[in-house]
Homo-oligomer: A and B are copies of this chain.
């Protein structure tokens, strides 16, 4: 077991009411039945094609052979399958050959793929992201040239942003685009690093959505444009080299099955790129898609955390070791370690974090759908709340699943440290997520420096209101009363901290205002997860209170409540310490000089 179908259904149908999405015209053909078919086939692909390669793809890393990256031979049929079955463009409109599938369901399916084999899962979804940029901002010609072949899985899409001297600081990219005689066609020159699926032999072409600067444009971020830069150019004679060379493949701690490339464009002055949309708007285009990618990263982290949770759960149930703490008789048989309180603590930690994360991520996915297909205030509020939650939905699972996978390793003990069990791989794979698609530090500044204040704090108000609704619902259930109060107190603390920090901002001390943005993000993240778990708790307690709930389901709901209780008792308590720190006048991280280290 690498994920819980029961829990996914719980979130989709019992909490988020996904079945009601068909009230929107765009989704009118869909229903719980069509969703289930989608999830069913996702599970089959995951089990039959992805999961069996989990270990192998970790051990047989991609290699650079004669200037091209070779990946595991299993990737070719996998990508073909994703293309053939319409996964790459499933959320796009019928007109575009898509299925108008809600992103919520698409992400739920992605979660299944990611939990089965994270490295394998990224190839098709990178193509989806790249294709999305072309379809949203590209000319008809670009769409006609690239989309269909990308949707089919024949061509791989990438996002090519980072350069050796421009990682977090994208405004400093130096890849240049020089106009040619042909409109919209530029000569590209420069290099890109850390490009996921930037080159591999499981597709016949790689289509880079690449940021570059057109000479003479504004300095910094305002002079960045977006280009389609294919690895191979499309000509009458078929595919021809486009002077995109693979300078190297990165060897990494984990996430090894996915090739991360170092690319050189225009070494022979013969690399062509096609402008997407208008000049100098590249970064804003990219960021519109980036939000999706960021929720996607959170989902990856939660999926890896989920797989590790179930691996350690299985071990805890099967592994006999020690006796009950009150049983001193060595003649008695050993008990399974799941009966030790400290092991249950580590399981509940994992369960509450990964299930709380998944709940938040699916909630965000639904917001994205509503923002996409509704209108008026409903649309703008969904978009705004999603915007607010995105840095949290990216960062909380990313940071915390490093710790949950660590707990999984700990449960297995020495066995967990060996390659005989998959948890050490999950531990290595989880570590990428706080880094890519914006580091946690960047997201902290995004939340505190931008999202909290945007539209005069309207997004934050929406967040508080949504939490308030859940608190209200929980108050109606006696067993949830105390958790409701604790969440309310935490929100009050968050409000106080926020006001304190905004006070510093108003005084003009921007550095002090944002110095601990990462801690502010951590604090808000804990509260957001507590909110989601309380929401799950309301549904679960109501189900338990209902006589029609089947006995076989009671364990599930009791488990949801246990995870909630654990989180409130062991994780939400961290809010007070963080709040204390965030309101203290101690500038040690600013004032410590570089020479003191």
Contact = CB atoms under 8 A, between A and B. Distances in A.
Interface in A339-359: 339-345, 347-348, 351
B330 A171 contact: yes
B565 A348 contact: no
B325 A410 contact: no
Nearest to A412: B435
Interface in A575-592: 575-578, 580-581, 584, 586, 588-592
A326 B510 contact: yes
A562 B330 contact: no
Interface stretch (A180-188, A436-444, A529-537): A436-444
Contacts of A165: 320-321, 334
Q: Is the interface of A mostly helix, strand, loop or mixed?
A: helix
A69 interface: no
Contacts of A254: 417
A515 B317 CA distance: 18
Contacts of A348: 588-589, 592
B514 A341 contact: yes
A215 interface: no
Given A432-B417, A511-B341, A514-B325, A596 B410 contact: no
Interface stretch (A21-29, A234-242, A423-431): A423-431
A317 to B, nearest CB: 6
Interface stretch (A101-109, A139-147, A245-253, A366-374): A245-253
A559 interface: yes
Given A317-B594, A424-B252, A515 B439 contact: no
Contacts of A342: 441, 444-445, 515, 517-518, 589
Interface string A302-336: 00000000000100010011111110011100101
A65 to B, nearest CB: 18
Nearest to A342: B441
Interface stretch (A33-41, A199-207, A269-277, A566-574): A566-574
Contacts of A320: 165
Residue from A338, A344, A351, A576 with most neighbouring chain B CB atoms (10 Å) = A344
Nearest to A414: B194
A124 interface: no
A402 interface: yes
Interface in A513-571: 514-519, 555-556, 558-559, 562, 565-566, 569-570
Interface residues of A, number: 104
Given A413-B439, A439-B413, A559 B597 contact: yes
Given A342-B441, A594-B317, A169 B334 contact: yes
B589 A414 contact: no
A584 B482 CA distance: 13
A73 interface: no
Contacts of A461: none
Nearest to A568: B586
Interface in A154-176: 162, 165, 167-169, 171-172
B589 A566 contact: yes
B317 A562 contact: no
A64 interface: no
Contacts of A562: 588, 591-592, 596
Contacts of A282: none
A260 B252 CA distance: 24
Contact of A510 (B168, B325, B518): B325
Contacts of A573: 577-578, 580-581
B565 A576 contact: no
A313 B594 CA distance: 9
Nearest to A560: B596
A259 interface: no
A586 B574 contact: no
Nearest to A439: B413
A400 B565 CA distance: 26
A456 interface: no
A167 B413 contact: yes
A431 B444 contact: no
A219 interface: yes
A364 interface: no
A434 interface: yes
Contacts of A351: 597
A376 to B, nearest CB: 35
A322 B581 CA distance: 26
Contact of A253 (B220, B424, B518): B424
A159 to B, nearest CB: 14
A349 to B, nearest CB: 9
A428 B420 CA distance: 16
Contacts of A417: 252-255, 431-432, 435
Contacts of A559: 592, 596-597
Given A414-B162, A558-B593, A590-B344, A168 B321 contact: yes
Given A413-B168, A511-B326, A573-B581, A592 B344 contact: yes
The 5 closest A-B pairs by CB, nearest first: A220-B330, A559-B596, A573-B577, A341-B515, A253-B424
17 contacts: A168-B322, A219-B330, A250-B420, A253-B417, A326-B511, A341-B589, A342-B515, A348-B588, A402-B406, A410-B435, A413-B439, A424-B431, A427-B431, A555-B595, A555-B596, A559-B596, A559-B597
